[in-house]
Structure 1
């Protein structure tokens, strides 16, 4: 099946570059290019694409305003293309919460790994089309505003929680972490995201959730009531120590096609905390995290995979399920309480 794609960017040279990158894959066809949202709207009506790529920053109606209207009136898979700037990163995180499938930096022809990632993201976005349309029909604005929720008090001793996600992970992690109380166990997170974007993501989560959410740094002590997000593109996040718990962020080779890698994080948690850990592998394409979740299960940790019905892209959790790595396969809404052991004493979360 060919993925029919429209490229929306105000730069003619960037339109040509993105088109050239995508069309090196025989499974992708660029059926049109648009310079602004008005042109894009008319083109979408006529051509009915499977996916659009959308520049965050454009004259007139910006990409975020256009995306919000598109997802409300005609939901479809959108891959956001952003500059490597703080403004671009902030806008991209907002776009992911509105409903974009993934975010990517502007392409460079000398970075083949990034070009391949763009092609893979467009194809993954197409596979998520039905999920996006179904989600928009049922969830409305609740998707971007996590509701106040009760958090089940844990019965078992958990020293560390680890979470991994990729495509669709911004929404998934927001929902899971909005179920965490202010005094949650130290929580470490790897979300596949470009460099510079993870700081904006951490800051946005920090505004939404009760625990303190920060971008992890090498040597940073980890403590109760804190969530640590792996920085994008600079190294792998790992944890060390039972007595003095520390984040480690160190350069390395790609693992499962990614840096940071969920597998690397999960395996470090299994080694350091064994049966005192709990972990969940959420929505995303590929298989990163599946082997790490299996290592955690073998070490005695509580392991969870998100189910097919609530995953935007059922790749990573499916790989974990095939390996038998998950103690439980659960819908997204049940994962926070399961991580805390499913106790019966209910405390009210204070996330907005």
Structure 2
């Protein structure tokens, strides 16, 4: 289950990525009710064991204190787009207010383990963002740990602050991203390329099946290929701050465009049913976002009968060339 925030046994929708999540709301509430009402001996013993060991952790001690606790992330925290544009601005704004008021606080942070280990996400973007806001390890409560013995299904907290949603709020988003750019900008960073193709070849889905053909074409027009997975967060920020044109598969792959200079160009290679998140993001940061609809290769539909989430693409290079000329990118 994804996880949520409950007050008086009722799910608080502010803890989700938006207020109406339909079936997810129901599933979360039902999961909580089942957990609370399950009186089987085995389940009760498991609860007691976990609660016993959890009491010896730093997180438990922090959870029982009267210091304000901030919950800022949604169930989709493991997606960079959701974290950087939804969770992070909330955390940025409330910590800014607390510090202006000289108030102490504790931050409830994403789990170290869910259906999978999330430590790689901490290294990739969560820890660098905590570093930006000076969120130290001693001031963090983890909702889950890699050790199952100290990972109860639910944790109880006192004096909790859950910031309201500011999704796609231009003023807050722009200010919070400027904070990251100022913190990580390195004037001595060596990077000479303004035209970038962002590859997904190391991903397990939503790849470009004829990527070599695409890269060969783009390299003849001054583009260089990069893999975001190979770069530190600081390097990603500095590269994007120096880029003018980026091309890649539409989605989280392109979210780092928010670090680009104003009036830069982003070209999203997409399926026919791709969602419009990046257009909203681009508009907030005064960027030019162009879509190129590609053929869907190896179509795989998700639970909502959508092709964009899993399916690979095949790019018509001649059509790509015509659109890049139209957009005055080449």
> Does the TM-score normalized on the shorter chain lie above 0.5?
no
Q: TM-score, normalised by structure 2?
A: 0.32
Give the structure-1-normalised TM-score.
0.31
Larger Rg: 2
Task: Flag the structure with higher strand content.
Answer: 1
